[in-house]
Amino acid sequence: MKCPFCSSKDTRVVETRETEEEATRRRRECLSCKKRFTTYEKIENFSLRVIKKDGNREFFDKEKLRKGLLKACEKRPVSNEQVDKIVDDIEKTLRNMQTMEVKSSFIGDLVIKHLKKLDSVAYIRFASVYRDFKDIGEFEKELKLLKNKNNNNKTKLKNKF
C-alpha cells in the first residue's frame, strides 16, 4: 500500500477491523515517514448489469441510485440514513437474485415500493419521473390512488380500536 503522505510503498498494518458495510478497515503506518492512515478493503464481486429502457446495458451504480433517491426526498423530512438504508436494501435484494442482469424497471419498482412507505411526496416526485407522467391528469390519478390507500389504512386502524 502506498503512503498518501510520502508515497513510500513500505507500510505495515497496525490494526484490522470489520465494518458494518461489509468492508475491512485497516489502520496502517508508513515505515518511512511514520505517519498513520486508514484504508478500506471491499470485495468487488458485484458486477450486476442494468438493462435500460432503450436496451443499452450498464453496470449497476449504487451512487446513481442514491442520488435519485436524494433528489426525490429533497426538502422532505427524510434523513440521509433512511436513504442509505433504502439503497442498501435494494442492493441486497439485487445481490440475492440469481441473475447478473436486471431491467431498470425492476429497480424503479423497488424504489417506488420503498418511497411509498417512507414519504408520499417523495414517492409522487419519483413516480412522476419514473413513470413519465405526461399531464396533470396522471398526477391526479396517482394522488387519488395514494389518498384512497391512506384512507383505507386509517379506517382499518379505527376499526381495530
pLDDT in tens, 51-66: 998 999 999 999 999 9
How far is CA 135 from its chain centroid?
29
List for the chain the helix, strand, coil content (%; round to 5): 50, 20, 30
Question: Cα dihedral sign for 64, 53, 141, 116?
Answer: negative
One-letter identity of residue 129: V
> 446513481: which residue's cell?
64
pLDDT at 161: 46
Do 120 and 114 contact (CB within 8 A), yes or no? Answer: no
Estimate the crossing angle of helix 80-95 against helix 62-72, to 10 degrees.
Answer: 140
pLDDT at 139: 74
**Is residue 151 included in any domain, yes or no?**
no
Range of the domain at 81: 49-134
- Nearest 5°: the CA angle 9, 15, 21 is 100
**Is residue 4 included in any domain, yes or no?**
no
pLDDT at 131: 75
**Is residue 91 included in any domain, yes or no?**
yes
pLDDT in tens, the chain (161 residues): 899 999 999 999 999 998 876 789 999 999 999 999 999 887 765 688 999 989 999 999 999 999 999 999 999 999 999 999 999 999 989 988 888 999 999 999 999 999 989 998 898 888 888 777 777 887 788 788 777 776 555 555 455 44
Do 80 and 107 have their domain in common? Answer: yes
**Is residue 156 included in any domain, yes or no?**
no
Do 86 and 120 have their domain in common? Answer: yes
Cross-strand partners of 42: 23
Do 48 and 62 contact (CB within 8 A), yes or no? Answer: no
Q: CB under 8 Å to 145, separation ≥6 — which residues?
A: none
Do 91 and 126 have their domain in common? Answer: yes
Question: Cα dihedral sign for 86, 88, 89, 93?
Answer: positive
**pTM greater than 0.75 (yes/no):** no
